[in-house]
Amino acid sequence: MKYLSRIQSPSDLAKLSSEELTELCSEIRAFLIEKVTKTGGHLGPNLGVVELTVAIHRVFQSPRDAIVFDTGHQSYVHKILTGRQEGFEKLRQRGGVSGYPSRSESEHDVIENSHASTALSWADGIARGYLLQGESDRTVVAVVGDGALTGGMSWEALNNIAASDDLPLVIVVNDNERSYSPTIGGLATHLSTLRATQGYERFLDWGKGVLERTPVVGHSIYETLHGMKKGIKDIIAPQGMFEDLGLKYIGPVNGHDISALEHAFESAKNFHGPVIVHVITEKGRGYAPAVQDEAEKFHAVGIVDAETGLPMSKAAQTWTSVFSDALVELGKERKDIVAITAAMLGPTGVDAFQREFPNRTFDVGIAEQHATTSAAGMAFTGLHPIFAVYSTFLNRAFDQLLLDVALHRAGVTFVLDRAGVTGDDGASHNGMWDLALTGIVPTLCVAAPRDGARLRETLREAADISDRPSLIRFPKGAINADIPAFERRDGIDVLYRGESADILLVSVGAMATIAVEAAAQAYREGVGVTVIDPRWVKPLPQSLITMAQRYSAVVVIEDGIKHGGIASTISEMFSEAGLSIPVHSIGIPLQFLDHAKRTDILNELGISAQSVARSLVTWSSRKSDEPNSDLGTKPATRRPADESASQ
């Protein structure tokens, strides 16, 4: 890495010639392919923004000029250029660099949120702050993907940005949906640069004033000339809608031509007002496997072979794939089933449903709020919408869930992928809030299946609910083996029963494997534990009160925050029933979690079989008399060979 080794900060880029910059970009791509294929991460987006990021750092002076990345998964090159090359050995792992911008890593990182469509609002606020404090010479650069512009928040921000002529703000729209067209690029760049000069605007203002004072024909001449200008703009640069908002527009610019990019950025910077620079890039550029991946362009990869791009290990069956198959099967049986996704057909497993039922699949873009309320509208007509979305992204549509769906008792099913701790992508991607948030929503039913069989089962049950909304949540990654129940009592599955009735362990969703293993370990320490799975955790079955009275303590294990979670709900339920049995909670503390592997985070939080077993022994208040539970009269056993009892 002849040139990359010289780059310790953005200021080092100024020392390189055009030829050296070209070689540097090649080295950066080689670096990304080498590192990210070993760790996994967002490879395709970063391969597409190499020249773009280099040009931004050559024209603007970070951190004095704030560079804000929307979503942030395209910030790897930015990290490389700001002194964090060594951290890529453990990208997205404990001790390595985050997969998104992180203030704790560098002064060059502004925001940590990995949710889309937020950067323009951040940039608007920062730019206004600079102006109010007399620092108009500081520029804010917001790098926004074309996909993020499908989010309503982006347009709310644009509407406000356009109303302020003096905001020192450059909006870089990274458009990787089509290739750059050299036949129009040069002329478009020339005209756009002309439009983004204060002199041109002063000329127009002067001309308007003179013509408006000209008797009879002045106004008509101005309108004709202005209309001609607008017509030419719309032909050459169809993105004239931005200028209709009052924003200056430069582009389209070849996102892989550093010289053209620098010219555009210098023009935008010198305008001293809000300007949009439209950049065309190729996602996955320079890496054949990514370019040939028509669907995702290697947007996010696991550990793959650097040469071929093929996974290094055989893919295990995942929660997402089980849901995907179940959704298609349900769609074949019922014509009222429709699927909704927010720009994540593949990641949420809705792509298979789309192939089978394209007319019953709706990809709304990055617009979770719209998706939620639109689903309520579909339910009003007699359809049953199933909205598949990452748990963390449903947070954005809470108001719509509460007042448009739940208040109207709409028969909508929300399927939350990546619930609980996800780990790799850091604080904002963990789906650890959904149980607490949805717990306060009236009429909503919430299921937490423990395995694939229960996922298929609860999906069908949810689809049968038409007079109120339902929600199903499951974690990221490989799915554990099915855990049959001994029996089902009033909707509660009994997974494990010990020799005595010391502790009732309530397992939520995918925590069942840990719960059963912990119960077995506690039994070897002389503590009798019965493990149950409610399956539907909202509302909780009232029979839980009767069942709990046979035990000296109740323990709840869940992969959501403890504050306001299922343990809190059970404690409140017992209190209202006058039951004074202690309830202990094993879950996620009320804090943001740093990026690391899911297993590592769970272990650190004490959510492992060994840690839970120790807690069970500690909390046990074992009595010497005979157990009074009819569930605990046999020696400890795990589960039967078949699951006929649970069907």
Compute the average pLDDT of residues 396-410: 96
Q: Is the pLDDT of residue 566 over 50?
A: yes
Res 189: pLDDT: 44
Dihedrals φ, ψ of 70, to 5°? -75, 135
Residue 72's pLDDT is 82
Residue-wise pLDDT for 597-623, tens only, equals 888 888 888 999 999 999 999 998 544
Average confidence (pLDDT) over 302-309? 73
Whether the per-residue pLDDT at 631 is higher than 80: the answer is no
Strands (E) across 15-162 are located at 66-69, 140-145
Task: Tell me, yes or no, if 248 is annotated catalytic.
Answer: no
Residue 34: other Cβ atoms inside 10 A: 12
Residue 192's pLDDT is 43
pLDDT tier at 181, thresholds 50, 70, 90: very low
The band of 93, judged by pLDDT with boundaries at 50, 70 and 90, is confident
- Asked if pLDDT for residue 130 goes beyond 80, the answer is yes
Closest CA to 248 of 233, 231, 262: 233
Packing angle between helix 512-524 and helix 609-619, nearest 10 degrees?
50
Residue 91: its pLDDT value, please?
86
| C-alpha–C-alpha distance, residues 172 and 486, integer Å | 59
Q: Based on C-alpha coordinates, what's the Rg of the chain?
A: 29
Q: What is the mean pLDDT of residues 146-158?
A: 86
Convert the pLDDT of each residue in 415-430 to its tens digit.
999 998 887 776 777 8
Across 199-203, average pLDDT: 47
The domain defined by 494-639 folds into Rossmann fold (3.40.50)
- What's the pLDDT score for residue 238? 44
The pLDDT value given to residue 231: 52
Given pLDDT bands bounded at 50, 70 and 90, which one contains residue 308? confident
pLDDT above 60: residue 218: no
* Residues in Cβ contact with 616 at an 8 Å cutoff, skipping those fewer than 6 apart: 503, 505, 518, 519, 522, 527, 529, 555
Per-residue model confidence (pLDDT) at position 289: 76
Q: What is the pLDDT of residue 552?
A: 92
pLDDT band at 635 (very low <50, low <70, confident <90, very high): very low
> Among 3.40.50.150, 3.40.50.970, 3.40.190.10, 2.70.150.10, what is the CATH number of 319-473?
3.40.50.970
- Among 195, 283, 418, 639, the active-site one is 283
- Residues 503-545: tens digit of each pLDDT: 999 999 999 999 999 999 999 999 999 999 999 999 999 999 9
Q: For 37-50, how does the pLDDT look when each residue is reduced to its tens digit (9 = 90+)? A: 888 888 888 899 99
Q: What is the pLDDT of residue 191?
A: 35
Residue 119 has pLDDT above 80, yes or no: yes
> What mean pLDDT is predicted for residues 229-256?
68
pLDDT above 90: residue 306: no
368 is catalytic: yes
Of the pLDDT bands very low, low, confident and very high (cuts 50, 70, 90), residue 235 is very low
What are the E-state strand segments in 293-392?
337-341, 361-363, 384-390
Residues carrying CATH 3.40.50.970, the chain: 4-290, 319-473
pLDDT bin (cut points 50, 70, 90) of residue 77 is very high
The reported pLDDT for the residue numbered 469 is 98
Give the distance between the most distant pair of CA atoms in the chain: 107
State residue 212's pLDDT score.
Answer: 55
Q: What is the mean pLDDT of residues 305-331?
A: 85
Q: How many Cα neighbours within 13 Å face the side chain of 497?
A: 17
The confidence score (pLDDT) of residue 617 equals 93
Q: How confident is the model at residue 221 (pLDDT cuts 50, 70, 90)?
A: low
265 pLDDT above the threshold of 60:
yes
Residue 224 pLDDT grade (very low, low, confident, very high; cuts 50, 70, 90):
low
Looking at 51, 368, 517, 558, which residue is catalytic?
368
pLDDT for 241 equals 62
- Give the mean pLDDT of 54-73: 94
Say which amino acid occupies 392: T
List 396, 454, 476, 639, catalytic entry = 396
Q: Please check whether residue 54 is in contact with residue 262, taking contact to mean a CB–CB distance below 8 angstroms.
A: no
Active-site annotation holds for 550: no
Span 350-373, mean pLDDT?
Answer: 95
Q: Would you say residue 76 has pLDDT above 60?
A: yes
DSSP assignment of 493-530 equals: EEEEB-SS-SEEEEE-GGGHHHHHHHHHHHHHTT--EE
**Can you give the pTM of this predicted structure?**
0.79
Listed in order, the ranges of the chain carrying CATH 3.40.50.920 are: 494-639
Q: Which fold has domain 4-290?
A: Rossmann fold (3.40.50)
pLDDT in tens, 451-498: 999 999 999 999 999 999 999 999 998 898 999 999 999 889 999 997
| Average pLDDT value over all residues in the chain | 84
Confidence at residue 616, expressed as pLDDT on a 0 to 100 scale = 94
